[in-house]
């Protein structure tokens, strides 16, 4: 809708902003895993967020995992609960990070930090994300919705055309640093991983360990 100036993006409930892929469908643990359907759906969602004319304000509570971090990187502004937890576990799952995630994260975090987070799969906190300037505000969990709404209301008071043009200009400048076009390699990397026995074994081991922790 062209008259909308700001949109708040949040998860359903307090448990997670987004857990990314459905792990049972997204890994190579079985021959019939719908990895390509999951990839295409996630990429479409990310591109839709990034392409919105309105400014997007993410409101993050709980877990933000894998593709969820990519979705977050596609939002213009990010308000995060102080107890939110982030991770990008795809390498441990035996799959490359998809959804156009690598170029987006390199653009937002830089190559060295992207390598660390994607290759080690370690968890990181809201405080770390703020220190890296990956998020705009960290607030108590009970205040996330109010803080995101306050920010959206500030944006809603601006002239729509100028708001949209300025946001697009910022995107264009950021794209000069890292072009999102390189995300087109996702499909090829996924196909290579699907043919790799070690990657599929890693997927099975990850899912087995996860079931054991439940």
The full set of domain ranges for the chain reads: 6-139+161-213
Q: Domain 6-139+161-213 is of which CATH architecture?
A: Alpha-Beta Complex (3.90)
Region 78-102: mean pLDDT is 92
Phi, psi of 56 (to 5 degrees): -100, 130
Q: With contact defined as beta carbons under 8 Å apart, do 73 and 101 qualify?
A: yes
Lowest-pLDDT choice from 47-51, 97-101, 126-130: 97-101
CA 174 to chain centre: 17
Instruction: Write out pLDDT tens, residues 110-136.
Output: 999 999 999 999 999 999 999 999 999
Please give the order of strands across the beta sheet that includes 124-125: 16-18, 63-65, 85-87, 124-125
CA 138 to CA 148: how far, in whole Å? 11
Q: With contact defined as beta carbons under 8 Å apart, do 182 and 103 qualify?
A: yes
177-180 contact pairs (CB < 8 A, 24+): 177/107, 178/103, 178/104, 178/106, 178/107, 179/103, 180/50, 180/100, 180/103, 180/104, 180/107
CA 56 to CA 139: how far, in whole Å? 18
Q: What is the CA radius of gyration of the chain?
A: 17
Lowest-pLDDT choice from 18-32, 73-87, 178-192: 18-32
Q: With contact defined as beta carbons under 8 Å apart, do 73 and 50 qualify?
A: no
Residue 29 pLDDT: 47
Instruction: Write out pLDDT tens, residues 137-159.
Output: 999 999 999 999 999 999 999 99
**SS3 of residue 207 by DSSP:** helix
Region 14-33: mean pLDDT is 66
pTM, to two decimals: 0.86
């Amino acid at each position: 809708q062209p008259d909308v100036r700001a949109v708040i993006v949040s998860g359903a409930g307090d448990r997670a902003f987004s857990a990314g892929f459905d792990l049972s469908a997204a890994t190579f643990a079985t021959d019939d895993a719908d990895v390509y359907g999951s990839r295409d759906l996630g990429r479409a969602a990310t591109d839709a967020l990034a392409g919105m004319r309105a400014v997007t304000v993410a409101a993050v509570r709980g877990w933000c995992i894998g593709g969820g971090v990519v979705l977050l990187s596609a939002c213009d502004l990010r308000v995060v609960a102080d107890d939110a937890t982030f991770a990008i576990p795809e390498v441990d799952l035996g799959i490359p990070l998809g959804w156009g995630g690598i170029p987006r994260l390199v653009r937002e975090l830089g190559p060295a930090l992207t390598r660390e987070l994607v290759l080690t799969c370690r968890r990181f906190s809201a405080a770390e994300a703020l220190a890296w300037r990956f998020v705009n505000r960290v607030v108590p969990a009970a205040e996330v919705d109010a803080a995101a709404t306050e920010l959206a209301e500030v944006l809603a008071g601006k002239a729509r055309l100028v708001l949209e043009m300025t946001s697009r200009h910022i995107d264009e400048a950021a794209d000069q640093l890292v072009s999102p076009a390189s995300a087109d390699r996702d499909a090829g990397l996924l196909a290579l991983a699907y043919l790799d026995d070690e990657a599929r074994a890693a997927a099975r081991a990850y899912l087995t360990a996860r079931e054991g922790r439940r």
